[in-house]
Amino acid sequence: MLDQTRPDPLRSPLLEHAGANAIRHGFFTRSGGVSEGLYKGLNVGLGSRDDSQAVTENRRRVASWLRVEPENLVTLYQVHSPDVLHVEAPFAGERPKADAMVTATPGIALGALTADCGPVLFADTEAGVIGAAHAGWKGALTGVLENTVAAMERLGSRRERIVAVLGPAISAANYEVGPEFVDRFVSADASNARYFRPSDREGHAFFDLNAYSLDRLAAAGVSTGHIDRCTYADEEHFYSYRRATHKGEADYGRQISAIVLEER
């Protein structure tokens, strides 16, 4: 049953560290929120049509679990871009349009919102540099993951020390795409054909976004991990844009994945 009393995020042992640069992170599910109806649970989507007070309370609960003030939980106006921002303080005014962030500032929690796309949390605990990326098909194809690694390097990180963990996203079994989608990927790189499996509909295929993202991260020279949970299939624990569309629902919630360098 969905726990409505407190957040209970998924965590990766690859991102745990008890040294001089300790981090706290979570791939949050629907558990522990106050939203109701279509958004039941921990909906943190500022762009959803959920009650704004409920979203604010849900974000406060996430911040509390991360041990930061609510204003120090920063998220972007995500636009499926390859763009990465260096964050040193909470944003003043409107959220900037981009899809990934990096920081070396303790106490600033970086959050990526998803509802089928891949959330990726990055850490180089030796350098004290972290990152968070929203990687849907377009962002992954155009380089948001590699750009996040490069942005971390500019803050003193080294890619061979970076760990990148992909959180819950839509699985290949539930991600059917049309021929123009397949053509876009294969035209960019013929070897991308291996990420597609034909479906019963002519010209259509199932796309493995998770494998594609993990392979791009590995090719970038970082260590990878994966919390293999399908957002489409598991309605109790995850929001899903595609599931909401297939069900004819008017809107959908967003879960958050977040990471913070803990203050000492």
In a domain, 192, yes or no: no
Write out the residue range of the structural domain in which residue 64 sits.
Answer: 13-171+208-258
Measured in whole angstroms, the distance separating CA 92 from the mean position of its chain's CA atoms is 23
Total number of domains constituting the chain:
1
In a domain, 102, yes or no: yes
Report pLDDT for 263: 81
In a domain, 186, yes or no: no
Rounded to two decimals, the pTM is 0.96
In a domain, 103, yes or no: yes
Report pLDDT for 1: 47
In a domain, 30, yes or no: yes
In a domain, 179, yes or no: no
Contact 73, 59 (CB under 8 A): yes
In a domain, 189, yes or no: no
Contact 114, 169 (CB under 8 A): yes
Residues whose CB falls within 8 Å of the CB of residue 152, separated by 6 or more in sequence, listed in order: 102, 122, 124, 127, 129, 130, 131, 159, 162
Query: To which residue do tokens 């003030």 refer?
Result: 69
Report pLDDT for 16: 79
Distances in Å between the alpha carbon of 121 and those of 16, 57, 129, 133, 257? 12, 23, 11, 7, 7
In a domain, 183, yes or no: no
The CATH number that applies at residue 89 is 3.60.140.10
| pLDDT tens, the chain, 264 aa long | 455 678 999 999 999 765 556 999 999 999 999 999 999 999 999 999 999 999 999 999 999 999 999 999 999 999 999 999 999 999 998 999 999 999 999 999 999 999 999 999 999 999 999 999 999 999 999 999 999 999 999 999 999 999 999 999 999 999 999 999 999 999 999 999 999 999 999 989 999 999 999 999 999 999 999 999 999 999 999 999 999 999 999 999 999 999 999 987
